[in-house]
Amino acid sequence: MIITRPRDWARIKQNLVDVDAKSVFIMGCGQCATVAGTGGEKEVLQAKTKLEQDGFAVTGWAVGEVTCHSGGTSLETRKHSGDLDAADAVVVLSCGAGVQTVADSVRQPVFPGLESVFLGNVVRHGVFEERCQMCGDCVLDKTAGICPVTTCPKGLLNGPCGGMWDGKCEVLRDRDCTHVRIQRRLIEQGRGGAKLLPPKDYSKKLKPGSVNIRKSRKGGAE
Ligand code: SF4
Ligand code: SF4
């Protein structure tokens, strides 16, 4: 899931002042931002109170089921068209993908209410960790299912670095070094030790990413 954190409130306020907005509609997200505790109903209502305390009128709010889903978001914005029409601007409590989806669906200026920080594993309730940067050239087949480029703070494909001490990471001292873990697991699995990995092909991570499974289902024809 996409992990978000609250954005500096003064910055959001300044965004609204810059476009001379007096009234605001707030949109949250029922998926990742709800699970992350940043953009669900509770946080949307907290944002509403804050905006009102700062002198803005809140014309309405909604928590879209999946705010990055174009169809769902345009349905949600149509459902709230009256409240949206009355607003000078929209603040979205979702990841950047959701903010852009809302911006495509409404005529007003749309501002992010959160910072998008990483693709996160839910380690346990309320605890998230970054384990994949979606590089497009996965090496987990060679590294016993442990991502070196994401979980090593230096992003080293091959390691350990010279700062590793007693199996612990030089940067995150309370954690085992990623490359020690990789080596250990490969040996436990009877796969020998870690082999030197060639440089990753970052051309496989082209931006913006785009996948069209409808096309492939139809044998290449859209
Ligand atoms: S190598 Fe790491 S960053 Fe790349 S896809 Fe695999 S898990 Fe993700
Ligand atoms: S000690 Fe290991 S995990 Fe930490 S920065 Fe060095 S190579 Fe990366």
pLDDT digits (tens, 9 = 90+) for 84-118: 999 999 999 999 999 999 999 999 999 999 999 99
Instruction: Give me the residue label for tokens 């804050």.
Output: 50
Show me where the domains of the chain are located: 2-118, 134-192
CA 58 and chain centroid, separation: 26
Region 175-196 average pLDDT: 97
* Residue 46 pLDDT exceeds 60: yes
One of 2.60.40.10, 3.40.50.11860, 3.40.50.720, 3.20.20.70 is the CATH number of 2-118, namely: 3.40.50.11860
Q: Among the bound ligands, name the one nearest to the CA of residue 151.
A: 2
Which of 130, 131, 139, 201 has most ligand 1 atoms within 8 Å of CB, for mutation?
139
Q: From ligand 2's centre to the CA of 3, what distance in Å?
A: 24
pTM: 0.92
pLDDT at 220 over 80: no
Provide residues with CB under 6 Å of ligand 1: 132-135, 138-140, 147, 149-150
Q: Please state, in angstroms and as integers, the Cα–Cα distance from residue 169 to each residue in 57, 137, 154, 178, 197, following that order.
A: 50, 25, 10, 7, 20
